A and B are shown apart, each in its own frame.
Chain A
C-alpha cells in the first residue's frame, strides 16, 4: 500500500510551513477570488493535478481523451480562494474538434486569471506546441512540467530553467501523482497573477507582411473592444477566417468580456488594472 490516498499532503508536507497554505475545497466553488484553467495535451496528468489540488476524486485514467467536459473544483492557497477548471486534453487550439473548442473558448472567453499548461516531461517537444498556442491567447501562463518521475526513469534530464528562459514564463517541474513541486507551482501562479515576476511570453511573429497585417487589425479590434487583452491573437484568428471569433466580434461577446474583466480587476488587484491592461 502506498500512502498517497489523497495524493496530497504527504508526510513531508505536513511538517513543511507551506502545508498550511493549501486547503482543498472540493466542489465548493461558489465563492472564489481567482479562476485558474488547466490545459494540456491528452494524458499528461491534468486530472491527477486537478484532484491533488482540489481534493476531489475526479476519475483519472491512463488513456487520452478521458476528460470530455470541463470539471471544476476549488482550493485555497495563501488565503486566496481559487476556482480550478480542468479542460479537455488537446494537442492544439487551432482546429475545431469539440474538445479543442471547449478548451479554447474557456481560455479566451472565460478569461481565467492564469492558465496552467500541464506538459509531459517525456515528450516536451510535442507539448510545447500547445504551450505556445496558449501563450498566443493569454500572457498569464505557467507551464507545469509533469511526469518528472517518468522522465527520470526513462533517463531524461529536463531543465525547467532553460524552458522558463526560452518561453519567458515560469516552468515548474512537478510530479502530480506524488504532489512534488505543487507548492512551487502555485507560488508561480500567484506571482504571475499578481505581477510580482516579470513575464515575457515568446511570440511567433511570422513573415513581415503577415506582421504588418496583424498590426493593422489590432488597433481596430482595440477600438471595438477597448481594453481587450488578446487583440493580437484575435487579429491572427480573423486573418485565418476563424468563424467562432468572427461571430464573437459581431455579436458583441468580446465587448462583454472586457467589461466583465474590468469588474474583476477592480475587485481583486488594483495593481493589475493599472499595469496590465494598457
Chain B
C-alpha cells in the first residue's frame, strides 16, 4: 500500500517540477542530443578527399523522376512477368508430362494388383491428380517470379516504388507506405496484410489491409498466366505469344492496382474518413544483391512454403471432387449437379457453374482454382489423363465446355477481384481483432468481383461479342 502511495507522490512531484521548468526544456534536450551526435560523427568520419562518383544518386534521379519513374516501373514489371510467362510455359509442360505419366503408371499398377475401383479412383484420380495439377501449374511460375521479386527487394528498388506511387495513394486518402504493403501482396496477400504494421495511423492501416487483396498474389498469378497464354495470346502469331501473354497479365495487374486506389479512395471518403498523413521514407542505398540468399529466400521461404500450403489444400480438394464426381444423382453426379445448379448465376457473370464450384472448393487457397476446375471438367467428360499442353487445355475448355474469350477474360477479372483466401481472412481478423473488418474484406472484394464481371458480361453480350 505504501508503495502505491509513493508512486502517486512521484507523479505529483513530476507534475509540479514539469510546470516549474521553462516550457522549452524538451526541445533543449533533443537539440543538445542532436548537436552532440553531430560532433561525435564529425570526429569519427573522414570523407576521402576526391569527389566521389555517386552512382546511387544518378540512378535515383532516373527511377524516381516524375517522367521516367512510372514507365521504368512498368517496364520492370513487364520484364519480370515476361520472364515468368515464357520460362514457366516450357517447364510446366515437362512437369505435367512426368507427373501425369506417374499417375497413369500408378493407376495401371493398382488395376493390375486388383485394387477395388474406388480406391484406385480416390487415390489416383482424386488426391494424386489434385496434387499433380497444383505442382505443374504453380511451381514453374513461382520458381521464376519469386527470385526475380526477391532480387528487386534486395537491390532496394521497393522503396523507390513507394516513392513513385506516393502521390497516388495520397490522392486516394491512403498512406504512401501502402505501396510497400501492396508490393508484398504480390507475393502473398496474408504477408501483405501483416506488413501493414509499418503504417502507424490505424485508419490508413485499415485501408491498406482491406484493399491488399486487389493485387494478385502468387497463388493467383498461375491462373492469370495460364489464361493469358491459352486464350488471349493464342489469337496471335506464335512468335508474339509470350509478349502478348505478359502484356495481358500486366494489364490485369494494373486493373488490380486501379481497384486498390479506387477502393482506398471510396473507403477514405466513407467508412474510414480522414486525411492522408505525412511520412518520411528513407531511400536506402542500392545494395549488391546476395545471389545465394535470394535463391534461399525465394525458393525455401516463399516457393516451398506457398507450394506446400497449396498441396495441403489440393489433396483434400482432389478427394472432394472425386467423391462428388462419383456420387450419382439420377443420370448425373453430385459435382455436375452442383455445377448445373450454379450455372445460371455463373453465366450471368460471364463464367459458368463449374468455375463457381471450383472457387467454392478453393476457398482455403486460391492456388487450386484452376486444378479444381480442370478436374471437374475432366471428371464430367470422362477424361482420365491430364492435358499436358496448352492446345489440349484450349480444346478441353473451348470445344468440350463451351468457353469463349469472355469466359477467359471474366475469369481473370474474377480471380483478380474475388474474396481473399481463408489464410488472408484469418490474418485480417488477427491483425484487426474484429469480425466486422474481416467480414467487410470479404463482402467488399466479392461484391466488386460480382459487379465487375456482371457488367463486362452484359456489355459484351450487348455488343454481340459473346
Q: Which residues of A contact B (CB under 8 A)?
A: 1-5, 7, 42-43, 57, 59-65, 68-69, 94, 97-99, 121-122, 124-126, 128-129, 131-133, 150, 154-160, 162-163, 166-167, 177, 202, 204, 206-207, 209-210, 213, 216-217, 220-221, 223-224, 235-236, 238-241, 246, 249-250, 252, 255
Contacting A213 at CB < 8 Å: which of B21, B177, B284, B297? B21
For B180, B198, B300, which residue has the most chain A Cβ atoms within 10 angstroms?
A: B198
Contacts of B43 in A (CB 8 A): 159, 162, 166
Across the interface, which residues of B come within 8 angstroms of A99, CB to CB? 197-198
Q: Which residues of chain B are within 8 angstroms of A43 by Cβ–Cβ distance? A: 282, 284
- Residue in A1, A57, A124, A250 whose beta carbon sits within 8 Å of that of B300 in the complex: A57
20 contacts between A and B (CB under 8 A): A2-B291, A57-B296, A61-B153, A63-B153, A63-B162, A63-B180, A99-B197, A121-B45, A129-B34, A155-B50, A157-B45, A158-B44, A166-B39, A202-B36, A207-B25, A216-B13, A217-B14, A224-B6, A224-B10, A250-B7
Any A CB within 8 A of the CB of B58: no
Task: Looking at the assembled complex, report how far the CB atom of A36 sits from the nearest CB atom of chain B, in whole angstroms.
Answer: 23
Report Cα–Cα, A207/B29, bound state, in Å.
8
The reply on B48 being an interface residue by CB < 8 A is yes
Smallest CB gap from B6: residue in A: A224
Instruction: Report Cα–Cα, A246/B46, bound state, in Å.
Output: 43
- CB of B149 to closest CB in A, whole Å: 10
Mask: chain B, 1-43; 1 = CB below 8 Å from A; 0 = not? 0011011111101100110111001101110111011111111
B29/A210 in contact, CB under 8 A: yes
Known: A1-B292, A124-B44, A128-B40. A206 touches B297 (CB 8 A): no
Residues on A with beta carbons closer than 8 Å to the beta carbon of B156: 62-63
Partner of B29, one of A1, A206, A241: A206
A61 to B155 Cα, complex, angstroms: 8
Q: Are A158's CB and B45's CB within 8 A?
A: yes
Contact of B46 among A97, A133, A159 (CB under 8 A): A159
The reply to whether A64 and B281 form a contact with Cβ atoms under 8 Å apart is yes
Using known A-B contacts A128-B37, A159-B45, determine if residue A68 contacts B194 with beta carbons closer than 8 Å.
yes
Closest to B32 in A: A204
Knowing A129-B33, A166-B40, A223-B6 are in contact, say whether A213-B17 is a contact too (CB < 8 A). yes
Contact, CB under 8 Å: B7 / A224: yes
Contact B200 A221, beta carbon cutoff 8 Å = no
Q: How far apart are B266's CB and chain A's nearest CB, in angstroms?
A: 26
Give me 18 other A-B pairs in contact (C-beta within 8 A), A62-B287, A98-B197, A177-B290 excluded. A60-B297, A62-B158, A63-B162, A125-B38, A125-B41, A125-B42, A129-B33, A155-B48, A157-B47, A158-B46, A204-B29, A209-B20, A210-B21, A213-B20, A213-B21, A241-B18, A249-B10, A249-B11
Identity of the chain A residue whose Cβ is nearest the Cβ of B20 in the assembled complex: A213
Bound: A224/B7 CA distance, A:
7
Query: What residues of chain A lie closer than 8 Å to B197, measured between beta carbons?
Result: 68-69, 98-99
Q: Is B314 part of the binding interface, using a Cβ–Cβ cutoff of 8 Å?
A: no
In the complex, what's the smallest C-beta–C-beta distance from A159 to chain B, in angstroms? 5
Shortest distance between the CB of B453 and any CB in chain A (Å): 35
Q: How large is the interface on B (under 10, 10 to 19, 20 to 34, 35 or more residues)?
A: 35 or more
Given A64-B284, A158-B44, A220-B10, do A239 and B17 touch, yes or no (CB 8 Å)? Answer: yes
Contact A217 B282 (CB under 8 A): no
Contact A249/B52 with A68-B194, A132-B36 known, Cβ cut-off 8 Å: no
Tally of A-B Cβ pairs under 8 angstroms: 181
Q: Complex Cα distance A255/B158, Å?
A: 45
Whether A64 contacts B159 by the Cβ 8 Å rule is yes
Contact status of A163 and B40, CB under 8 A, knowing A133-B33, A240-B26:
yes
Q: With A2-B292, A157-B46 as given contacts, are A62 and B195 in contact (CB-CB < 8 Å)? A: no
Least distance between B201 CB and chain A CB atoms (Å):
10
Q: Is the CB of A220 within 8 A of B9?
A: yes
**Whole-angstrom CA separation of A250 from B194 in the bound complex:** 33
Q: Are B37 and A132 in contact (CB under 8 A)?
A: yes
Inter-subunit contact B6/A220 (CB<8 Å): yes
Contacts of A255 in B (CB 8 A): 3
A167/B40 contact (C-beta < 8 A), A4-B293, A63-B159, A158-B45 known: yes
How far apart are A3's CB and chain B's nearest CB, in angstroms? 8
Verify A132–B44 contact, CB threshold 8 A. Answer: no
B6 surroundings in chain A (CB, below 8 A):
220, 223-224
Asked if B392 lies at the interface with its beta carbon under 8 angstroms from chain A, I say no
User: Which residues of chain A come closer than 8 Å to B39, judged between CB atoms?
Assistant: 166
CB atoms of B46 and A216 under 8 A apart = no
Determine the residue in chain A with the shortest Cβ distance to B17: A213
Question: Do residues A209 and B40 form an inter-chain contact, with CB atoms below 8 A?
Answer: no
Shortest C-beta distance, B113 to chain A (Å), equals 44
Complex Cα distance A162/B43, Å?
7
Contact of A57 among B42, B45, B52, B301 (CB under 8 A): B301
Known contacts A63-B156, A157-B48, A239-B21; decide if A68 and B10 are in contact (CB<8 Å): no
Would you call B285 an interface residue if the criterion is a C-beta within 8 Å of the partner chain's C-beta atoms?
A: yes
- With a cutoff of 8 Å between Cβ atoms, the chain B residues found around residue A163 in the complex are 40, 44
Shortest CB–CB separation between residue B218 and chain A, in angstroms?
Answer: 15
The verdict on B154 contacting chain A, using a C-beta distance below 8 Å, is yes
Set A98, A124, A154, A238: member contacting B41, Cβ < 8 A: A124
Q: Which residues of chain A come closer than 8 Å to B7, judged between CB atoms?
A: 224, 249-250
Q: Are B177 and A61 in contact (CB-based, < 8 A)?
A: no
B44 touches A166 (CB 8 A): yes
- Complex: how many Å from CA A246 to CA B28? 22
Query: A65 and B292: CB pair below 8 A?
Result: no
Instruction: Tell me the bound Cα distance from A68 to B191 in angstroms.
Output: 12
Asked if A209 and B22 sit within 8 Å, CB to CB, the answer is yes
Q: Which chain B positions have C-beta within 8 A of A206?
A: 25, 28-29, 32
Which residues of chain B (136-185) have a CB below 8 Å from chain A? Answer: 153-156, 158-159, 162, 177, 180
In the complex, are the beta carbons of A57 and B48 less than 8 A apart? no
**Complex partner residue of A97 from B4, B162, B200, B286, CB under 8 angstroms:** B200
